[in-house]
Amino acid sequence: MVANQRMKTSEVSFLLVATLATQVLLGSASAATQLQGAGATFPAPLYQRWIAEYTKGNPDVQINYQGVGSGAGIKQFTQNLVSFGASDAAMKDEEIAAVKQGVVLIPATAGSIVLAYNLPGLENLKLSREAYVGIFLGKITKWNDPAIAKTNAGVNLPNLAVTVCERSDGSGTNFVFTKHLSAISPEFKDQVGEGTSVTWPTGVAGKGNDGVTALIKQNKGAIGYVEYGYAKNNKLSFAALQNKAGEFVTATTASGAATLATTQFPANLLRAWPSDPEGKEAYPISTFTWLLLYKKYDNTQAAEAVKKFVNYGLTEGQKFAEELGYIPLPKEVIDKNLEALKTVQ
């Protein structure tokens, strides 16, 4: 009987220890700092990589990022539904003014927008400014149009209809692309204009960079604007574009970096777009993309977690940029970002 009593006591002790251990584990899981981000699809693959790598060494932080488009990201950020937002269009002054906690804009990475196309067997396509503006205005409807043919001597261009593919959602990629087209074409500026959402005169639309990428892959004769990384990862062909200096330049890390080098930020706000860059080596459509942070968080723990994660992305995280199709930030931009990050409370 004494032996049985000892066994029961031992079993009770074991159960108590197991219960306490379970409670500790559950407690630590529930105590993990959770960060929610939403916004641009353009940088989503890189942000997801940052999250995966950062949380390996920081298991006490759980981070989720949803690529819902820049417009939706700004909306959720303004409504205080997320820990951080993301937008290829940064934020307008009036949008910043609507955020009661204040806003810190961080240009977190950069990339190029390419004109990807589906013309099997046709590589090294060159598109002049006249040609690609004409395509997106709906004025050029066949691939053997003279405006395309004159910069592609010796290339057998097909007598095939051009299917223009665009974004259906409010998008920073829309903003950057239409800002460029408006900068180089008064006709485009007058008829379509620039913005995260515009009314296109022609074409079919898909949601996000992935939606436009899918449309291009599915339709022979298609052309659309997508982030370089999406085109690269999906093995899409994309055109060399004529820049301001008259040179035909293909999107690469080097040609994108040449564009970013022309960007001048104002003294008090890290927001600028190189809409029509100078320089023979500059790719014409490269841009920064921004993380949107609150200047003052309601939760100190969340504020510190956001700052540490963003600091990681701006420093260690930059090493993943090139392999995923992004342009690593210049050191002077990283330094400015780190100073701006100190203002987050």
The pLDDT, as a whole number, for residue 22 is: 32
φ/ψ of residue 294, rounded to 5: -80, 145
- How many domains in the chain? 2
Closest CA to 180 of 124, 112, 231, 117: 112
Using the 3D structure, point to which of 211, 239, 260 is the last residue of a domain.
260
The pLDDT, as a whole number, for residue 248 is: 98
The percent of residues above 90 in pLDDT, for the chain, comes to 83
CB neighbours of 219 closer than 8 A, spacing ≥ 6?
118, 163, 165, 204
Cα 125 to Cα 93: distance, rounded to the nearest angstrom: 39
Using the 3D structure, point to which of 260, 284, 313 is the last residue of a domain.
260
The pLDDT, as a whole number, for residue 229 is: 86
Query: Sign of dihedral through CA atoms 258, 53, 312, 305?
Result: positive
Of all helices (H) and strands (E), which one includes residue 95?
helix 93-97
Is the pLDDT score of 290 beyond 70? yes
The percent of residues above 70 in pLDDT, for the chain, comes to 91
Measured CA to CA in angstroms, residue 81 lies from 39, 76, 87, 160, 175 at distances of 12, 5, 15, 46, 23
Look up the CATH number of the domain holding residue 299: 3.40.190.10
Of all helices (H) and strands (E), which one includes residue 21?
helix 2-30
Range of the domain at 325: 35-110+295-341
Using the 3D structure, point to which of 216, 234, 260 is the last residue of a domain.
260
Query: Sign of dihedral through CA atoms 267, 273, 275, 281?
Result: positive
Whether residue 174 sits in one domain with residue 232: yes
Is the pLDDT score of 17 beyond 80? no
Whether residue 193 sits in one domain with residue 129: yes
pTM of the model: 0.81
The pLDDT, as a whole number, for residue 31 is: 52
Task: Name the more confident of 14 and 250.
Answer: 250
Whether residue 249 sits in one domain with residue 125: yes
- What does the DSSP 8-state code read for residue 330? P
Is the pLDDT score of 94 beyond 60? yes
Whether residue 207 sits in one domain with residue 98: no
pLDDT in tens, 123-167: 999 999 999 999 999 999 999 999 999 999 999 999 999 999 999
Is the pLDDT score of 7 beyond 50? no
Examine residue 15 and state whether it is found in any structural domain, yes or no: no
Examine residue 58 and state whether it is found in any structural domain, yes or no: yes
Neighbours of 52 (CB within 10 A): 11
